[in-house]
């Protein structure tokens, strides 16, 4: 399972490739692409997917009969990195650097002194207008060099990074970056109009003893596990919905992010096509917001809440937060516990130390657009937002099994606080 995860991560250097690669895996399983620019004709038992901006994707599978509700997962396909600016080359006397700015909250130190590659998308001029081309240069092309300890004797006493000075990467060649992107896009340089390009760590994932390490485990480990669960689940009387959102790492407030209309409009279209109303369907629906969680750190156990420290290989994490930055409440936790018990998968409970603010994630943001029962879950990992993250070797399979069981279940809401989940 972890080798398949590493292949998925390697194929998904940015959210654009994550959406495209996931679409290819869905098509191989008989899922048909829909376009937001067209009206949808949907058939009972049908399998479909739709993308927005080429970087977010929603796939769904309809039951043969009238669906009871939506059983959904959401994960994100973007990760913290550096975006390459439009005028990309910083030309020096002896070398070229790339001009970058931060995307999301990365751990800067982990990005230094390692070969980096470039991926994303380019917009090119065509005969009829403009078109999008996916770009993945694959090769080691850039590196952000540290300053030697001899010139910064305080480097081990808490480093400070100025993005404009310290984080600009050295480019392997002297110039020619724009031409290289045009070549990768398959156009003449004058037909390359603009781009959304990012640095990424091309290092392959590794399994070592009880652990796995790889780039972008947050959140491709959940994106992958949810996809496997979605594709392998048995039949249910609910409609299964798999969401992969872009822009979680920068707050989700984009036309394709979790705060956008993408999920609500997709569910509305499904309801319209089947003669249902979303308000009734949503009341009996359930969404699992899947994003990784902080494992108790072996060198810093003091950062974990005493009673809610989660460990790698301990199973799926249910995340709680009184301020509801995590959507989990007693109802959704009880429903997800039922899923884990049916799946035979261990689960553990996470909460931040009350004096430490955690990050926010997809669920609470999506809930403002389409409101329904949600729980926040994930897998325990170390070094979140590092260029190379670490998680438990057994946990990918735990999440796949839990979500496979979840997607195979039918949820019936009594509307009076009673639920049937089987």
Enumerate binding residues for Zn ion (CB under 5 A): 218-219, 291
CB of 240 to Zn ion, least distance (A): 22
Give, as one character, the DSSP assignment of residue 111.
G
230/245 Cα distance (integer angstroms): 16
CB-nearer residue toward Zn ion: 195 or 216: 216
CB of 131 to Zn ion, least distance (A): 31
CB of 293 to Zn ion, least distance (A): 9
CB of 292 to Zn ion, least distance (A): 6
Apex CA 408: angle with CA 404 and CA 410, to 5°?
Answer: 140
Phi, psi of 412 (to 5 degrees): -120, 120
CB of 263 to Zn ion, least distance (A): 17
Residues 414/327, Cβ–Cβ less than 8 Å = no
CB-nearer residue toward Zn ion: 226 or 281: 226
SS3 category, 158: coil
CB-nearer residue toward Zn ion: 252 or 285: 252
CB-nearer residue toward Zn ion: 147 or 303: 303
SS3 category, 106: coil
Q: Which two tokens stand for residue 225?
A: 């596990």
Q: Which residues are paired to 198 by β-bridges?
A: 83, 119
Give, as one character, the DSSP assignment of residue 250.
G
Q: How far apart are the first and last CA of the chain?
A: 26
**DSSP labels for 354-410?**
TTS-----HHHHHTTTS--EEEEEE-EEESTTSSSEEEETTHHHHHHHHHHHHHT--
Neighbouring C-beta atoms of residue 48, cutoff 10 Å: 21
CB of 219 to Zn ion, least distance (A): 4
| Greatest pairwise CA separation for the chain in angstroms | 72
CB of 245 to Zn ion, least distance (A): 10
CB-nearer residue toward Zn ion: 196 or 389: 389
CB-nearer residue toward Zn ion: 136 or 219: 219
CB of 305 to Zn ion, least distance (A): 19
287/368 Cα distance (integer angstroms): 13
CB of 232 to Zn ion, least distance (A): 23
CB-nearer residue toward Zn ion: 291 or 394: 291
CB-nearer residue toward Zn ion: 228 or 381: 381
Residues 214/110, Cβ–Cβ less than 8 Å = no
CB-nearer residue toward Zn ion: 168 or 327: 327
CB-nearer residue toward Zn ion: 141 or 263: 263
Residues 6+ apart with CB under 8 A from 406: 71, 73, 229, 233, 288, 336, 339, 343
CB of 248 to Zn ion, least distance (A): 6
Q: At what angle do helices 217-232 and 395-407 cross, to 10 degrees?
A: 40
Task: Return the H-helix or E-strand segment holding 21.
Answer: helix 15-28
Cis peptide before 275 (omega within 30 of 0): no
């Amino acid at each position: 399972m972890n080798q398949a995860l590493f292949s998925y991560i390697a194929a998904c250097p940015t959210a654009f490739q994550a959406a495209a690669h996931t679409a290819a895996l869905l098509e191989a399983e008989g899922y048909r692409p829909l376009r937001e620019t067209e009206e949808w004709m949907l058939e009972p038992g049908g399998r479909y997917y739709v993308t927005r901006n080429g970087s977010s994707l929603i796939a769904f599978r309809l039951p043969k009969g009238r669906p009871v509700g939506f059983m959904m997962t959401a994960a994100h396909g973007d990760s913290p990195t550096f975006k390459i600016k439009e005028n990309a080359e910083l030309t020096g006397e002896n070398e070229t650097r790339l001009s970058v700015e931060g995307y999301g909250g990365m751990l800067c130190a982990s990005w230094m002194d390692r070969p980096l590659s470039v991926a994303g998308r380019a917009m090119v001029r065509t005969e009829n207008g403009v078109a999008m081309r996916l770009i993945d240069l694959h090769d080691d092309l850039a590196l952000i060099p540290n300053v030697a300890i001899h010139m910064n004797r305080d480097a081990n006493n808490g480093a400070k990074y100025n993005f404009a000075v310290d984080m600009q990467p050295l480019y392997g060649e002297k110039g020619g970056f724009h031409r290289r992107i045009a070549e990768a896009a398959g156009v003449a340089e004058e037909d390359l109009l603009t781009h959304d390009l990012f640095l990424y760590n091309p290092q392959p994932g590794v399994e070592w003893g009880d652990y796995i390490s790889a780039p972008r485990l947050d959140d491709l480990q959940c994106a992958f596990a949810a996809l496997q669960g979605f594709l392998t689940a048995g039949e249910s009387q609910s409609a299964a919905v798999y969401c992969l959102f872009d822009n979680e790492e920068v707050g989700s407030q984009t036309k394709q992010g979790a705060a956008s209309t993408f999920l609500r409009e997709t569910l509305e279209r499904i309801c319209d096509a089947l003669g249902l109303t979303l308000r009734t369907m949503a009341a009996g629906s359930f969404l699992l917001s899947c994003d990784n969680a902080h494992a108790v750190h072996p060198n810093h156990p003091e950062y974990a809440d005493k009673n809610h420290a989660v460990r790698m290989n301990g199973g799926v994490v249910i995340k709680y937060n009184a301020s509801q930055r995590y959507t989990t409440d007693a109802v959704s936790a009880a429903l997800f516990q039922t899923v884990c018990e049916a799946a035979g998968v261990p689960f553990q409970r996470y909460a931040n130390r009350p004096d430490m603010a955690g990050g926010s994630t997809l669920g609470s943001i999506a809930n403002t657009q389409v409101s329904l029962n949600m729980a926040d879950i994930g897998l325990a990992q170390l070094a979140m937002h590092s260029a190379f993250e670490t998680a438990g070797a057994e946990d990918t399979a735990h999440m796949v099994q839990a979500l496979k069981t979840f997607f195979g279940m039918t949820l019936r809401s009594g509307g009076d606080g009673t639920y049937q989940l089987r």
